[in-house]
Structure 1
Amino acid sequence: MPIESSFPHGSPIWVDLQSSDPAGAAAFYRALFDWEVEPPAADTNGYALATRRGVPVSAIGPLPEGERPRWTTYFAVDDIAAAADAVLGAGGAVLLPPGELIPGVTLSIVADPAGAVLGLWQSHAASSWLRDEPGAVDWLELVAPDIESVFPFYEAVLGVGASEMRVADEPYGLFDVADRSVAGAYRSDGSEPAHWLVYLNVADLDATVVRATELGGTLRTEPTAAAGVGRWAEIVDPQGATVALLEPEPEPA
């Protein structure tokens, strides 16, 4: 059970879901991934914590007025005021100024120059996050028409490095913290707005897609495979939020 408890500046630290029907979304993901979702606490602004075997996985909360259902990826920062200033200096926008919206955490919601929305997260207490096993976040990916043009933004705001690999013989960008790649960047065809895509780990992609459709979700992209990565597909939950499912390639024997 991989549990992360160290989050260097620039690394992903959390994801949450803003839904038009948080209770309905909780029922969907509970049935799909065996999440335990408790009712929102009085001090969490309507967000309900989702866990697996008692370890935090994500949270589900209400949808801000005028917005569409979406997943938000948060990145750890050492000084959130400085990071928010860097957002403006690098051509981005601060959509929600820094504030302590949940106890022990100062948050800000920002957008990069391409319009992709992300969160900045400065934690004032120890935290843990379940990763890289079925039902938990496996990977995070920026999807934008021109990823190279926004690399300087992430370098300035998060202090990450940018590198490149090949996936299915296509160039694929990586965000690096020290010697570790913490997120990816995929060049889209421009048919959709720039966004951060959350990948949830599954043990059996085909079975999970079938189960998701039985629960009221829809398949957005057909399953795709790449050597060294695995198989993945995007689904849309019953409330309209898109998330990817990833069945990682087995480790070599």
Structure 2
Amino acid sequence: MEMTSYKPGTPSWVDLGSPRTDQAVTFYTALFGWQAEEAEPGAGGYRIMTLRGKPVAGIGPQTQPGRPRWSTYIATADAAATATAVQAAGGQTLLPPMQVMDAGTTAVFADPSGAAFGVWQEGKHHGAGIVNEPGSFCWNELLTHTPDTAVPFYREVFGWDAKKIPMGETTYTEWDLDGREVGGMVNMDEQNFPPQMPPIWMVYFAVDDTEETVGKVTALGGSVLVPPTDLPVGRFAVVADLHGAVFQVIKLTRQS
């Protein structure tokens, strides 16, 4: 699906902070068939990854200590107003609103549990030009130990409703904005997640074939954390790139 704009409160962009940007670019271009745009002067080495000539993700130098990770950015009409709402709801500002040349304005926050996420106020850059297709991001999911705290926080900041969906022996939470699904949430219970695992926003990328993609991940130097597994929405796997950044791939049963 091609996109030219995003309603505020909708995930609109994903990017990776990597300790070895050039190596990461090589890994993901081989994995997803992306092309890398040359970094603009003043962009600090940040690369825009494209599919069919449209932006789908970013890869840049890692700026935070610890394990490299993929980040989710949520569209906002006013990054400064979102920063105020985050503080009022009990979150933290990690990077205050900052204009990125003429592309737009970004900011990074943490919810009350510590899960980090970004926002994007569009300028010339609207966000991902393709979503929900193989080679593009298709879902964003909060993993948290404290879902009861997350629900009021994201409702207050983005206007999301939390919809409970039975899924096997557990319950999945879907984030809805004005009746449309925009993301999900998983309760990191002690049976399935180590208590020391920090909360995180996970990124899913759509693929044509989950097994084939997992094979490419390992051939390119990455690793498989959860092998291909069936879900009601498709067949997914949890993988990590050659530097340990975790993401998920899924062959969707339908495209939205």
**TM, length-normalised to structure 2:** 0.93
What do the CA deviations read for 1:153-195 (whole angstroms, capped 9, x no partner)?
Answer: 1111112222121223421111111121010001113521100
Tell whether the 8 Å contact from 2:76 to 2:120 is kept in structure 1 after alignment: yes
**1:176 is aligned with what amino acid?**
D
Match of 1:242 among 231, 237, 246: 246
Partner of 1:16: 15
Alpha carbons 2:102, 2:124 under 8 Å: kept: no
Q: Separation in 1 of the partners of 2:27 and 2:143?
A: 25
Mapped to 1, the partners of 2:250 and 2:148 lie a distance apart of 25
Q: Give yes or no for contact 1:45–1:101 (8 Å, CA) kept in 2.
A: no
The count of corresponding residues between Structure 1 and Structure 2 is 249
- Residues 13 and 129, structure 1, Cα contact 8 Å, conserved in 2: no
Contact 2:9 2:75 in 1 (8 A): yes
State the AA in 2 paired with 1:201: A
RMSD value, Cα: 1.5
What is the match of residue 157 of structure 2? 157
**Unaligned stretches of 5+ in structure 2?**
none
Distance in 2 between the 1:240 and 1:208 partners?
A: 17
Question: Which consecutive unaligned segments of at least 5 residues does structure 1 have?
Answer: none
- Measure, in 1, the Cα distance between the counterparts of 2:168 and 2:21: 36
Q: Post-superposition shift, 1:250?
A: 5.0
Q: Does structure 2 retain, via aligned residues, the 8 Å contact 1:43–1:103? A: no
In structure 2, give the amino acid aligned to 1:7. Answer: Y
Counterpart CA distance in 1 for 2:6 and 2:201 is 19
After TM superposition, which residue ranges in structure 1, 4 or more long, deviate above 3 angstroms?
A: none
Aligned in 2, Cα 1:198/1:82: closer, same or farther, shift over 3 Å?
same
Contact 2:143 2:199 in 1 (8 A): yes
Residue number in structure 2 paired with 1:177: 177
SS state at 2:155 partner: helix
Report deviation, 1:41: 1.2
* 1:206 maps to which of 204, 211, 220: 211
Of 224, 235, 242, which residue of structure 2 is paired with 1:231?
A: 235
CA distance in 2, matches of 1:142, 1:33: 23
Matches within 5 A, 1:32-181: 32-125=31-124, 127=126, 129-181=129-181
Q: CA deviation at 1:30?
A: 0.3
- In percent, how many aligned pairs have the same letter? 38
- CA separation of 1:216/1:156 partners in 2, compared to 1, >3 Å: closer, same or farther? same
> Contact 1:45–1:102 (CA<8 Å) still a contact in 2?
no
**Secondary structure in 2 matching 1:130:** coil
CA distance in 2, matches of 1:147, 1:205: 29
Deviates more, 1:201-210 or 1:218-227: 218-227
Secondary structure of residue in 2 paired with 1:157 = helix
* In structure 2, C-alpha distance between the alignment counterparts of 1:168 and 1:57, rounded to whole Å: 32
CA drift of 1:102 comes to: 4.0
2:226 maps to 1:221: yes
User: How far, CA to CA, are the matches of 1:104 and 1:39 in structure 2?
Assistant: 15
Q: With structure 1 as the length reference, what TM-score do the two structures score?
A: 0.94
Q: Which residue matches 1:7? A: 6
State the AA in 2 paired with 1:5. T
- In 1: Cα distance, 2:169 partner to 2:102 partner: 45
